[in-house]
Structure formats: structure tokens, C-alpha cells
Amino acid sequence: MDFIIDDLAGPKIIQFLEEHIEDMKSVSPPESKHALDLDGLRNSDVIFWSAWEKGNLLGCGALKELSPREAEIKSMRVSSIQRGKGVASKLLTHMLDHAVTKGYQIISLETGSMPYFEPARRLYEKFGFDYCQPFANYAEDPNSVFMSLQLHNSNQKMDK
């Protein structure tokens, strides 16, 4: 599996992210949809990766810098035909390794509270994320849960 820093210009990744936004619209009310659109993901405070194998797009994820010590996971998604094959764990490991390299101390995220998001919550729990209060510009929302992970030092390795 290859991870590339993606410029979000290719038709495969654009379609993939459009499907992601549509999925989020189908399970989250508009006031609770926090997924970034293409313009938001192209922002200079976001680094976006896509995961590929033999020309097939497997998944994607992004880190948005909130401060020099904190970042937020955005737009984690795995292709429906690749789910359950470890792609999300490898992608999350890659992103967390990058976060350690950048010197971030806290990685936070928002995900849905509905059953649809249960696999995502289990993945984050497996990696040591704890439930927390809303962070950054988020507010309490019954459709959202918030999680964070403390990165203790630059030698911390994510082996999940």
C-alpha cells in the first residue's frame, strides 16, 4: 500500500470524496455534518493522503493543524470494498506517525454518534483515543462524539 500526499485534483479522489460527503449527508443532519469539502481539504493547514494499491484507491485521510501542538483528523474513509482488510489501521498509523514527526502532542477528532459510525469509533478506541469534550470550534451535539489522543514523545510508535 502506498500513501501519497494528494493534491485532490484527480478524478478518482474527487469522486471518492463526493461519495463521502453524500454518505455523511445521508446519516447526519445538516447542522451535524463536519466533513470538509474539496476546498476545505485543499486549505494550507490540511495535509491530505490517499492510499493506493496497484492503481486502486483504497482510502484517504487528512490532518488539519489546529495549533503547533494539536491537529485534527479529518475525512478518514476507506473504500466500501476494502473495509475490514486493515486499510483504516494502516492509514491511521501513517497519519499518527506523521503527527509525531511534526511534533503534535494532541490529535483530536469528531465522528458521528450513530450506529453507522460504530466501526470508526472502535478503530479510534483501539488506537488509544479517549472520549473528550468538544474542541476547537465544535459545540455539544447529540449527533457527534469527540475523541483525542495524547502523543507523549517523538519516539512514540503506533503499532496497531
Residue 155 CB partners (closer than 8 Å, separation 6+): none
How much is the pTM?
0.87
pLDDT at site 46 = 96
The pLDDT tens digits for 7-54 are 999 999 999 888 877 777 666 766 766 777 788 899 999 999 999 999
pLDDT at site 25 = 65
Cell 490517499 belongs to residue:
50
Which among 41, 80, 44 has a CA at the least distance from the CA of 61? 41
Write the CATH number of the domain with boundaries 2-150: 3.40.630.30
Type of residue at 124:
Y
What does the DSSP 8-state code read for residue 28?
S
| Mean pLDDT along residues 138-153 | 92
Task: Assess whether pLDDT exceeds 50 at residue 138.
Answer: yes
pLDDT at site 160 = 47
The pLDDT tens digits for 47-56 are 999 999 999 9
Half-sphere exposure of 55 (CA within 13 A, CB side): 0
pLDDT at site 36 = 77
Domain ranges of the chain: 2-150
CA 67 to each of CA 46, 108, 136: distance values in angstroms, whole numbers, following the listed order: 12, 12, 10
Give the count of beta carbons closer than 10 Å to the beta carbon of residue 4. Answer: 12
Mean pLDDT score of the chain = 89
Say what angle helices 118-126 and 87-102 make with each other, to 10 degrees: 50
